[in-house]
Chain A
């Protein structure tokens, strides 16, 4: 990677990610509709909402893994759809992505997984890379001796932490977390939440966390955005039901927001009864 590629760190005063009128459609199903969102550098944003409302799709659009049907996604002022393949690759290296199931490469050892990004882009010599991998694994609290194991030999929490170490190995400016605590026990969930906080504080990285877990939201978020599934919305309603600080969620006037925060089935029970009655 050239120095020119590495240069151009985001200006903390301007939005690092800007999404304008974003619509995403898969065949017959529209998942995101006219989403406009700005995320400032250094902020930790939690995106909440029911399953299927497009949260993960939003993350993938931000890093250019999907192309929007309509609308613009800008990173550091540059429209992702107008970048060349090389520029898009260089832009992706400024992101770290913790996938829902960690997405570790099965065929590689833990060491090779964490070293993958820097090694692919020839960023360091092997000695420096070894030091970086060891540091990153220590930062996420993994014990020594794990480096030579395969992902299948680790627990769910360990896999998530290796995924985080792999994402941090490239020193990203923006960390994307896709349901980081899903499938983990409460203690391990809190460990992951602490690591998200630690990353935001020590690395000064912008964080975008997609989650259902209100504990995560209350612990790590500076700002919360709540999406609602389009199938349950009227045409004239915005898909974003809430955008504000986490404190504003409790006691929000919209019952749909309150129900999500409190984990209540609400009208769904009535719908289920109606579906049963209709056969």
Chain B
């Protein structure tokens, strides 16, 4: 029998640049919809079945406990660098004793939460994405479904809870270490008066500032978990596919952190000023 002429692939029919642009737009819209569906399913499984301790505890350990050293070191150095960079400018204006307020307010409101989230996205988000991507490629996620277990419930919910519940603690750790680092450099190396340093810190940094940073971190944690797990679940085949999923997890998480930082800040400040018109805003 003669070999049949290869059947024309559907894609071979006159693909113009307009088709390509349309396809890209369609893919982006479909991706956004897919992330939304993925998030909705994760939230629904949060309440439908209590996560198993056997999956929750290892997730929490990997996300929280294992991240403590890197977050602590990053926080410490950021506090110290802030002190070094700000000191020369403040000293010129005779405001060196005010360093404490600047360093500490920057840390608890912005740098602590954003840095802790960035470190979590880099250390944990990429790893989660690579792990789930490997599970996708090696059909372990299909095997879960075949054994009657919902993969989102089994794999995503514990990771989501780990990120969501532990990132505030990591943020507090970054804040604390940053404050210590900034204080040590300012008072021990740069010669700022210790009493004035802490006095100004106490006057300018309040509990609500700390709360503002911690509040944002919940959103950062949720975004990191959802984006990283989603990229892992949709990893393409092969080492390149898994590597790309891990990279995308970090890049998209980082963009989401910055976007959320801005939007939550704007929204909350608007609400805060509506309630207390004389205030400078909370976030």
**Residues of A near any B CB (own CB < 8 A):** 28-30, 60, 63, 65, 89-90, 92-93, 95, 97, 99-101, 103-107, 116-117, 120-121, 166, 170, 230-235, 237, 253-256, 266-267, 271
When A116-B147, A231-B9 are in contact, do A255 and B1 touch as well, CB less than 8 Å?
Answer: yes
Q: Could you tell me which residues of chain B, from 1 to 43, have a CB within 8 Å of some CB in chain A?
A: 1, 3-7, 9-11
CA distance A20 to B11 in the complex (A): 26
Is B207 interfacial (CB-CB < 8 Å)? Answer: no
Partner of B148, one of A99, A101, A104, A120: A120
- Interface of B, secondary structure class, is loop
B58 to chain A: which residues have CB within 8 Å? 107
When A95-B146, A97-B143, A97-B146 are in contact, do A230 and B138 touch as well, CB less than 8 Å?
Answer: no
CA distance A106 to B134 in the complex (A): 10
> Interface residues of B toward A: which range?
20 to 34
Is B139 interfacial (CB-CB < 8 Å)? Answer: yes
Partner of A106, one of B7, B10, B140: B140
Is B143 within 8 A of A99, CB to CB?
yes
Partner of A105, one of B1, B11, B140, B146: B140
For A30, A104, A117, the residue with the greatest tally of chain B CB atoms inside 10 Å of its CB is A117
Q: How far is the CB of B225 from chain A (nearest CB, A)?
A: 18
Is B10 within 8 A of A90, CB to CB?
no
Partner of A234, one of B4, B135, B147: B4
Is B138 within 8 A of A232, CB to CB?
no
Is B148 within 8 A of A29, CB to CB?
no
Is A92 within 8 A of B145, CB to CB?
yes
Is B188 interfacial (CB-CB < 8 Å)? Answer: no
Instruction: Bits for B145-173, please: 1 = Cβ < 8 Å to A, else 0.
Output: 11111100000000000000000000000
CA distance A93 to B1 in the complex (A): 44
A104 to chain B: which residues have CB within 8 Å? 140, 143
* Residue on B nearest A94 in the bound complex, by CB: B148
A28 to chain B: which residues have CB within 8 Å? 9-11
A256 to chain B: which residues have CB within 8 Å? 1, 3
Partner of A65, one of B1, B5, B7, B145: B145
A103 to chain B: which residues have CB within 8 Å? 138-140, 142-143
When A105-B140, A255-B1 are in contact, do A231 and B7 touch as well, CB less than 8 Å?
Answer: yes
A100 to chain B: which residues have CB within 8 Å? 139
* Residue on B nearest A256 in the bound complex, by CB: B1
CA distance A103 to B10 in the complex (A): 33
